[in-house]
Amino acid sequence: MRLSWERQHVTERDVPISVAALALQRSGRLGYAPLRQLLMQVRSDFRLEPLSVDQVLELARVPRPEVNMSVSDAQRDIDKGLEMGIVPIPISSERYPSTLRNIHDAPPILYVRGQLSALEQMPGVAVVGTRKATPHGLLIASRIAHFLSDEGWPVVSGLAMGIDAAAHDGAMKGKSVTVAVLAHGLEKASPTMNRPLADRILDAGGLWVSEHAVGVAAKPSNFVLRNRIQVGLSCASVIVEGEERSGSKTQAEFCLQNKRVLFAVLPEPGSHVSTMSELPRMLVSQRGAVPIYSRADYPGMLGAVQKRAESLRAEG
């Protein structure tokens, strides 16, 4: 397969490191935290120097014969992904977004499908919420995402039915890209009903992102953990709708733990607008979320987003 210059450049530096990291992970020789520490050592000591699989294994003090089968499997799956346009980006890479690298429990490898240069536009703003969205909630999610996109902010969400889908759709009406963070391998998007939307994201220059190699199926725990990636790619999160025990509560907690700005959508006092606002109300009253009542609050939201993004970029 003939690779573009950009893909070839990424492959030369990042693929052997990713193969070794995936093999160490699958073999059980290194857990997430030690693997992340190893790759950060690679970043520190060999920042621009290509390393072979064996050199990374040597740094990990793991003899090649002990993980040879895992290396073969990892090489096969990463090559299979590259054939489909899925690029592995280890946390040691210059292309790995710094705002994601600096969160607690950042994924050792990020798999990306789409326009890789979109990563340079991070951080974005996460717009998320329940799958059981109301008509008003869907409209508000689309409107907020469209506004943010027109103002130059990539919109990050999870491609789920309901609020996530409305956020992606609204973002594509604006000027910026949208990023779908998935809970499985990137050979195809799920849920099935949102595959046309997922394809439109790629066609519009956006990205699919995951911490999982090809062949990894979605499972409930993956959906919880992918929220931290949405937070890591963002400087703020907007919770549009949700029941108090909604999965979006995890998004809000990751957001606060990582010192991002948290917004929650609430109906204006006295308004006839009806939304599923149990979670947003709790986040505002108990967790310090900034309420968004109407379009009049959008400029204030934008100012807070800009300020937090600047500080994250300064942190590097």
Please report, in tens digits, the pLDDT of each residue of the chain (316 residues total). 334 434 444 567 899 999 999 999 999 989 889 999 999 999 999 877 889 999 999 999 999 999 999 999 999 999 999 999 999 999 999 999 999 999 989 999 999 999 998 999 999 999 999 999 999 999 999 999 999 999 999 999 999 999 999 999 999 999 999 999 999 999 999 999 999 999 999 999 999 999 999 999 998 889 999 999 999 999 999 999 999 888 899 999 999 999 999 999 999 887 777 788 999 999 999 999 999 999 999 999 999 999 999 999 998 7
**C-alpha closest to that of 233 among 266, 263, 211:** 211
H or E stretch covering 38: helix 32-45
Can you give the residue ranges of every domain in the chain?
A: 5-88, 118-315
Cβ count within 10 A of residue 21: 28
CB 267 within 8 A of CB 116: no
pLDDT in tens, 107-129: 999 999 999 989 999 999 999 99
What would the CATH number be for the domain defined by 118-315?
Answer: 3.40.50.450
Residue type, 28: G
C-alpha neighbours within 13 Å on the C-beta side of residue 113: 29
pLDDT in tens, 151-185: 999 999 999 999 999 999 999 999 999 999 999 99
> Is 234 strand, coil or helix?
strand
